[in-house]
Amino acid sequence: MAVIIDGKKHSAEMRKTIADRAANYKSITGKDIGLAVVLVGDDPASAVYVRNKIKGCEEVGIKSFAYYLPADSAQEQVENLVGGLAEDDAVNGILVQLPLPGHLDAKKILSRIPKSKDVDGFCEENIGSLCMNEDCLVACTPNGIMKLLERENIPVKGKNAVVVGRSNIVGKPMALLLLNADATVTICHSKTRNLKEICSRADILVAAIGKAKFITADYVKQGAVVIDVGMDRDENGKLCGDVDFEAVKDKCSHITPVPGGVGPMTITMLLYNTVTAAERCL
């Protein structure tokens, strides 16, 4: 059976280090590190994510500023709020919870976040720096995956990596991070031909497509590392990932479970990015 990568354990260990860094920052500057979170509307899932992010801040000693706006907020109102936070010296990181209500232009709103405070790693400047393999703030979920691989001593250099999914939040930055770590990377998506054949050649397989248990054993090479980014519901309404865990776990060398794998690392990397953003201003 594969080694099950314990994201909860790695996350908890990292948060201790992050808390130490936050305390050191305060001892040097006399100020708390600050993270501003903006939530527009009343989407239940988004509200849960925001609560968890605020809870994470409390755990590591980061001061959180939460802004809750009604779903019918005007574009100018949201842009002005984000622009004001960009100028606020007490705020080291800004996060606008996605998705935004449909009438809002998310790209314009996110563009008001300066590169130095873009702790989600979504702005065009940070994505450009990632493409150039330059130091930057990186999207939390893919960066968390890289930390899991590193902490599990799983080599990436020279490996054949396949990323299933091409979203701006996970798939594309994941592929870039693997490429920057000297993997040979293939990105697959809904129009990819011979998907099963391509996946079955991967030394490292990252599934980020949002389809419950889509990746079965015949997609997986013997001894591969399987990273499951999915957060889905199976036929019984039980939380599961994009990978059929029970069918795959005896074929691969390492695998992330759902829940408890990649998920815990995402908010931890948000905290990591926020502390990093603050330290760069010292």
Please state the rounded mean pLDDT for residues 52-71: 97
- Per mean pLDDT, which range of 43-52, 86-95, 140-149, 156-165 is the poorest? 43-52
- The answer to whether residues 207 and 232 touch, using CB atoms and an 8 Å cutoff, is no
Q: Are 261 and 145 in contact (CB under 8 A)?
A: no
Q: Are 279 and 116 in contact (CB under 8 A)?
A: no
pLDDT value for 140? 97
**Domains, the chain, ordered by start:** 30-114 (3.40.50.10860), 140-264 (3.40.50.720)
Which residues are the active-site residues? Answer: 53, 97, 120
Which pLDDT score, from 0 to 100, does residue 1 have? 80
Rounded CA separation 122/182 (Å): 23
Given a contact cutoff of 8 angstroms between Cβ atoms, the answer to whether 230 and 241 are in contact is yes
The per-type count for the chain, helices as H runs and strands as E runs, is 10, 11
DSSP class of 32: -
Checking if the pLDDT of 236 tops 90, the result is no
CA distance 251 to 247: 8
Q: Is the peptide bond before 99 cis (omega within 30 degrees of 0)?
A: yes
Given a cut of 90, is residue 162 above it in pLDDT?
A: yes
Helix (H), strand (E), coil (C) string for 138-199: CCHHHHHHHHHHHHCCCCCCCCEEEEECCCCCCHHHHHHHHHHCCCEEEEECCCCCCHHHHH
pTM higher than the cut 0.75: yes
